[in-house]
Chains A and B, each alone.
Chain A
């Protein structure tokens, strides 16, 4: 069994191949069965493996190593196609395959009426293949395969509605911005190979543990390498300054946003750092950078999230913000906490997106029934009072909101609180403050969504109202399951002060040892106080949102946005970051391309080439000028010749 780890990623690949090659000739039903079963099989297999691993002492520390075949073998460079199923990757696999499966199921209903159904499921399976490869890879190069692979699938899925420019632009943007990050990843690989002579995680770890690496390298080169890796993470996990692709990525189908742009792919940057914790722990400078980038991103994205009107945009900025939290956690040395937040976030954010998908689905139907074409089904200002029409969606959405806002005992509470506490405890008070403010904003914008979209009165016409209804079972069942997970998922990582077993800590401890431990403040009463503050913040966010948006108080919002109109406008336009990037990066590059092509290539180089030819022709013309048919001229030419010879012989 342990030799078949490769089945976990390869099963979805098989699904992709079948659906991709023959899907156009198969019925939707067959397609969805193939798509879902392969993922489900992967999940079950992973679960069995996971239990087997934990129960087998020989495997539980090192994990299961499965070498398929040698991939690259040049000089002293060996890389295998090999998978490593250990506590970190196993946990992640379970999450990815599990959430992935739920979203697959959800998609069956959501995408039922779309063209290119087979294409969608093929892409989705391909994504699962890439993501699982990323997670299970035992070396950086194979991880990079998955790393770029998920980027590709993200590109394909964002651009699913390819005949619209917005979607294809967004897909391209996602790919390109990710490539900038991958550029860092690539350089990091070169540097690490240079340092370690290998890219395999176990071997690298071995070298570090056995102190085969000189201390001065640790400060210099490994810092550079980890920073470059972090550049990769910044691209993939949508952190400042490369986060710009993620909000645009919402142009893809909503389940895609849930799976790729919330639960799995975007967390792979975080995962990578957790996976390489033995490297990052050596480099406090990098960690500091990670923490600050994460913290600032968390706050930055949260501010934008407060004013967006597109339901998916709000969630997108929220994702960016939550990813910032994860990095904040990693940066202060709380690797397990960061990893914990990946998992809880996967539950509640996937749920939020699926819920929003359900809403959009309903709104779309409503407009379709009413024959309205010019209204945006994603704009929350067109919604209102939806809780009456779609109770399952509402309740699950609410659970997820409570989780993300950090209401006690919901999953998000534990993970977020742990991050904030570790930030505070590690002495980074300012980082804690940033995180706390961001938490307040998070709570605010999430409840804003609840109030504006689900509560109050529906703000559309009666005819539209008639079309509103709850989504089909294939969509609500995953919602419910995720709802349960979002509610109770946090209990796998209960803080120690509750004196209950922290499963996650226990599981991951052997693999995330404190090589260079951060000296945390150990003060139980402070921890309780901080937890209290977290709760207070969450409730404060809710109350503020309620005061602005509940009931008839919409006017207050307008007033508020009028008073702070400049701030509002700035936030609504996302700080004009896209415009700035266009002006200082995109536009100049195109101009340079034009310049190089026209002036350097056509005018200068080709000009020089053609000039040489023209010069020859001109000389030819001058020469034939003397060839004018006059014998006198000819004789004169001979005379010149004689003079030349004369000069040589006599002169």
Chain B
């Protein structure tokens, strides 16, 4: 009984929070915040049932729920949600970040608290909904609805250029998703269904696939974001309040990559093969470009934002390398990025609250006055640059290794260039770390900074645990993706395997070039 509705309950539970929050008077800020934290924790605990009841031995959709939603002469839409190895961990990441975000909000949001919390919960519904939706129409609905609370979060509680950033975010994303809408409608007209599972079985003609894939891909590419569709991201991240950045980096961007893996790629496998080299190259450009641009940022938050461009480049490369290693790596990297970058944004938020500046040049030597904070920052920095034993390494390693093993003619070079990001990642992160924490005795002003307090340590601790959990025992996570990814690999290469060229030739050629 519980299993049949569990996913719906998890998805829509935040609505209940919204209702309760609406009833609590806006003046009772403490009560509002405490309620949110408590509720988010309950929400997370409930969602753990999804993992414990998850059957990792099969690839099929679990916790599935299908009910007709509305049906008219010209369109019938079902409410169809479900969970498998592909979206399980992103759903979990979303609920996991919930309590952390609300804990961070405790001190960072001081005005219009009630509306903020309501928006946050609504955002969570939107995200969870689009993650579990197995119906293109339903997916599109959540996908778009999610924009609104995010738009408010950036626009109302953001920094100086918040309006510009919010509107840019909205229109940029909308531009892509409208194309996707056309594609969704087109597919419906061709097949008479919005059901994803039914669409999987339908083979579109080559020409159709190219256009449809392009429409989907642009929508997702903007969300990811893939170079050159990324310019909304630094603005949105920089201007958003900490909690907004965390959820944006943590989950929202993953919806783009998730869109690829759930929709764009398995629906149009032959177009994927056509486009894959281009996407991989764009991914690699993203990795290197993001890193180089991150390096020269003066604003620490912007730096982390550009690092996202770089990290998500890895995910894209991994997804399109189309090997089981790289796809699993990419999926794990999606989670990793949510944890590491989410944590970095939280950390930046902590110091921003104290100094009200994000300029790197305003810091320096603060490891001396904030030692615990410095250690935490260091660990997440290392996780971000993929040091072994941290989560980032596992993801990057699998992606790169899978890319190397992929059947593309230039696989060696794809992997090699993508791996340059490993060096560049260390360059910008450590340089930033050095300028923020080391180099000089802290200035007079910074001498008074207080170290991370108990609340801050509490909400960073779970993230810290995740960093090492995934880093040391990734099997726990990979095992639950295994079957679904295997099945996915079959979906994406129906019937025909990619022709594997002579391995020696591939590398020899690569080496000669």
Q: Which residues does A use to contact B, with CB under 8 Å?
A: 24, 69-75, 77, 81, 141, 144-145, 147-149, 152, 155, 159, 162-165, 167-169, 171-172, 175-176, 179-180, 182-183, 186-187, 189-191, 193-195, 214, 216-217, 220-221, 224, 589-590, 592-594, 596-597, 600-601, 605-606, 609
Contacts and interface: CB of A to CB of B under 8 A. Distances in A.
A68 to B, nearest CB: 10
Contact of A168 (B289, B434, B507): B434
Nearest to B404: A190
A74 B295 contact: no
Contacts of B482: 74
Contact of A165 (B230, B324, B439): B439
A182 B422 contact: yes
8 contacts: A182-B422, A186-B419, A193-B401, A216-B504, A221-B503, A597-B296, A601-B231, A605-B230
B507 A74 contact: no
Interface string B382-404: 10000111000110011011001
B507 A224 contact: yes
A183 B422 contact: yes
Contacts of B394: 72
B325 A180 contact: no
B434 A169 contact: yes
B416 to A, nearest CB: 6
Interface of B: 168, 172, 228, 230-231, 234, 289, 292-293, 295-297, 323-325, 328-329, 365, 367-368, 371, 382, 387-389, 393-394, 397-398, 400-401, 404-405, 415-416, 419-420, 422-423, 426-427, 430-431, 434, 437-442, 472-475, 478-479, 482, 503-504, 507-508, 511
A74 B325 contact: yes
A162 B438 contact: yes
Contact of A175 (B231, B292, B430): B430
A172 B431 contact: yes
Given A73-B475, A163-B439, A217 B504 contact: yes
Given A148-B387, A149-B389, A191-B404, A179 B292 contact: no
A69 B504 CA distance: 33
Contacts of B297: 597
Given A73-B475, A593-B293, A194 B438 contact: no
A187 B419 contact: yes
A581 B479 CA distance: 45
Nearest to B416: A187
B281 to A, nearest CB: 16
Contact of B382 (A71, A152, A217, A220): A152
Contacts of B228: 605
Given A163-B439, A605-B228, A74 B400 contact: no
B507 A596 contact: no
Chain B contact residues: helix, strand, loop or mixed: helix
A380 B296 CA distance: 40
Contact of B434 (A70, A74, A172): A172
Contacts of B475: 70-73
Contacts of A164: 439
A240 to B, nearest CB: 19
B386 to A, nearest CB: 9
A163 B371 CA distance: 13
A165 B431 CA distance: 12
A592 B420 CA distance: 15
B231 A144 contact: no
Contacts of B371: 24
Which 8 pairs between the two chains have the least Cβ-Cβ distance? A168-B438, A190-B404, A145-B388, A75-B324, A593-B296, A593-B292, A162-B438, A597-B293
A592 B289 CA distance: 10
Contact of A148 (B231, B295, B328, B388): B388
A151 to B, nearest CB: 9
B415 A187 contact: yes
A194 B400 CA distance: 12
Nearest to B507: A221
Contacts of A71: 472-475
Given A163-B438, A179-B423, 16 more contacts: A73-B478, A73-B479, A74-B478, A74-B482, A81-B472, A145-B389, A149-B388, A162-B438, A163-B367, A172-B434, A182-B422, A187-B415, A190-B405, A193-B401, A596-B289, A605-B230
Given A163-B365, A163-B439, A168-B438, A186 B507 contact: no
Contacts of A147: 388
Contact of B231 (A77, A149, A224, A606): A606
A376 to B, nearest CB: 20
B438 A159 contact: yes
Contacts of B441: 163
A238 to B, nearest CB: 17
Contacts of A70: 475
A345 to B, nearest CB: 27
A220 B474 contact: no
Nearest to A165: B439
Contacts of B404: 187, 190-191, 194
Contact of A180 (B388, B423, B437, B508): B423
Contact of B292 (A73, A155, A172, A589): A589
B474 A72 contact: yes
Nearest to B425: A179
A571 B475 CA distance: 53
